[in-house]
């Protein structure tokens, strides 16, 4: 029996592709291993979004090549730089573009002529690599927004919703596998259904997912601000099983820079949306991401972003320094910002958010809520908990608690927040009477 190891890089959407690839190998009778030294075939699913992720992908490929196994490289980096990699990456036995996933089994069989037969690439046959109680559900592919800085449309193509019936079918499969927390993702989640002939959208999809009672929690990631409707806000408000967690990557708050970025939103519209959400759902959690150092970003533009940050008080905020990406419109923009200035601005934004985060966390002391047990730390003898205001993968900090009662990963427990830290929280377990 041949053994396969896979390294998945980049975002959760890429992770779903990796899980489908693993499912293909698993269905074909291959053994899945975590140690690359034990593998006969190593697959590296790359990221090619920004300079840092591309560098990580190349480093990982070279690291995996040291094992002298058959090496398959796929993912966004391959999609974006296929021809260049064909010439410059002899370490790879096979380069697979995204559009070739449906015939991936044929390509691998050709590579491994003496090996076992491979079943076709099937989105519904995934090997869940996350904890069994939690899984991602990707509902669309590609993006039509065409922001001037973004390479995603170049890599992933135009926006395409997955068929409604297929999405529901996969959700039911995940529920049958014991998934309690379903995280709904895509490049533009709120745009779901816009290209379908049937009258489906993100609201109707959520209503159908709510009918699957095994799901304790539904969470939406990546909500384009202009597409968050009153109907969606009301649905989240009225259904406690949908996490009141609004992931709104706004990128900037200067209208001049937003226009240069090709964003449809304005600062005024963003503020109005945030106010509306907080009016309807006072306990809602707001998360966003910024790009600092975009070409032409003046001190005035940046100061406006800092002031906006202090005004809106996001619960969670991530940031990037602008990455100059080939074939994007902003690549050729004049007034490129010096790297040292970018880094300084990033530090200022993160320091500003650090203070906001601590203040917000102090306001949570005494709050009682449900959470899912995600792990146990032997050294500190504490459990890790994820509540509605923590997205997966630790990007929003952690909740820890001590408990004499033994808890298992995936258990849904009631907790009370006792103490705040900058990004993390400490809680106690509340026993049912």
Parse the chain into domains and list their residue ranges.
Answer: 3-111, 134-362, 368-429
Statement: residue 114 has pLDDT above 80: no
pLDDT at residue number 393: 80
The predicted model scores a pTM of 0.92
Beta-ladder partners of 7: 44
Question: Residue 160: which residues within 8 A CB-CB, separation 6 or more?
Answer: 140, 141, 142, 195
Would you say 304 and 250 are in contact if contact means Cβ atoms under 8 Å apart?
Answer: no
One of 3.40.50.10490, 3.30.70.1050, 3.40.50.12160, 3.40.50.1000 is the CATH number of 3-111, namely: 3.40.50.12160
Residue 115 is predicted with a pLDDT of 63
Residue among 405, 419, 421 nearest 373 (CA)? 405
Q: Determine the CATH number of domain 134-362.
A: 3.80.30.20
Q: Of all residues in the chain, what percent carry a pLDDT higher than 70?
A: 99
**Averaged pLDDT, 154-170:** 94
In this prediction, residues 123-145 reach a mean pLDDT of: 91
Alpha-carbon torsion 207, 312, 306, 245, what sign?
negative
Q: What local confidence, expressed as pLDDT, does residue 192 receive?
A: 96
pLDDT of residue 193 exceeding 60, the answer is yes
Helices 12-27 and 104-111: angle between axes, nearest 10 degrees: 60
DSSP 30: P
Residue 116 has a pLDDT of: 66
Write down the pLDDT at residue 246. 97
Q: What is the mean pLDDT of residues 248-257?
A: 97
What would the mean pLDDT of 115-139 be, rounded to a whole number? 86
Specify the pLDDT at position 433: 43
The pLDDT, as a whole number, for residue 250 is 96
Cβ atoms < 10 Å from Cβ of 113: 6
Token digits of residue 57: 């992908």
CA angle 374, 6, 9 (to 5 degrees): 70
Rounded mean pLDDT of the chain? 93
Q: 74 and 44 in contact (C-beta within 8 Å)? A: yes
The stretch 352-373 carries a mean pLDDT of: 94
- What does the DSSP assignment read for 316-378? EEEEEE----TTSGGGG-SSPPPHHHHHHHHHHHHHHHHHHHHHHHHTTTT-EEEEEEEEEET
Q: Answer whether residue 352 shows pLDDT above 90.
A: yes
Q: Which superfamily, per CATH, for 368-429?
A: Nucleic acid-binding proteins (2.40.50.140)
pLDDT at 253: 97
């Amino acid at each position: 029996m041949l053994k396969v190891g896979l390294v998945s890089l980049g975002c959760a959407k890429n992770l779903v592709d990796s899980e489908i690839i693993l499912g293909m190998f698993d269905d074909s009778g291959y053994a899945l291993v975590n140690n690359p030294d034990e593998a006969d075939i190593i697959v590296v699913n790359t990221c090619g979004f920004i300079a840092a992720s591309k560098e990580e992908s190349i480093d990982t490929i070279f690291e995996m090549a040291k094992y002298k196994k058959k090496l398959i490289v796929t993912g966004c980096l391959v999609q974006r730089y296929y021809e260049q990699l064909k010439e410059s990456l002899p370490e790879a036995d096979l380069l697979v573009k995204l559009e070739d996933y449906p015939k991936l089994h044929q390509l691998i069989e050709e590579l491994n002529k003496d090996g076992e037969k491979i079943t076709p690439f099937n989105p519904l046959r995934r090997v869940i690599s996350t904890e069994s109680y939690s899984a991602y559900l990707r509902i669309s592919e590609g993006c039509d927004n065409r922001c001037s800085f973004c390479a995603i449309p170049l890599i992933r193509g135009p926006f395409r919703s997955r068929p409604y019936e297929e999405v529901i079918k996969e959700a039911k499969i995940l529920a049958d596998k014991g998934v309690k927390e379903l995280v709904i993702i895509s490049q533009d989640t709120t745009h779901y259904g816009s290209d379908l002939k049937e009258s489906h959208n993100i609201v109707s999809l959520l209503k159908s997912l709510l009918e699957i009672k095994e799901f304790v929690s539904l969470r939406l990631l990546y909500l384009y601000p202009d597409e968050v409707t009153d109907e969606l806000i009301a649905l989240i408000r009225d259904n406690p099983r949908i996490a009141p967690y609004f992931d709104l990557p706004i990128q900037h708050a200067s209208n001049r820079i937003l226009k240069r970025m090709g964003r449809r939103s304005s600062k005024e519209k963003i503020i109005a949306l945030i106010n509306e959400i907080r009016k309807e759902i006072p306990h809602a959690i707001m998360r966003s991401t910024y790009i600092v150092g975009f070409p032409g970003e003046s001190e005035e533009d940046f100061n406006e972003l800092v002031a906006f940050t202090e005004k809106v008080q996001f619960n969670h905020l991530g940031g990037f320094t602008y990455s100059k990406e080939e074939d994007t419109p902003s690549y050729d923009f004049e007034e490129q910002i010096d790297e040292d200035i970018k880094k300084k601005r990033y530090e200022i934004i993160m320091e500003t958010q650090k203070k906001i985060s601590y203040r917000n966390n102090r306001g949570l002391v005494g709050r009682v809520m449900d959470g899912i047990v995600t792990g146990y730390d032997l050294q500190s003898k504490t459990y890790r908990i994820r509540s509605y205001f923590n997205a997966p993968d630790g990007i929003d900090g952690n909740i820890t608690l001590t408990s004499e009662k033994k808890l298992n990963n995936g258990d849904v427990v009631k907790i009370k927040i006792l103490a705040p830290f900058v990004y993390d929280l400490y809680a106690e377990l509340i026993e049912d009477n």
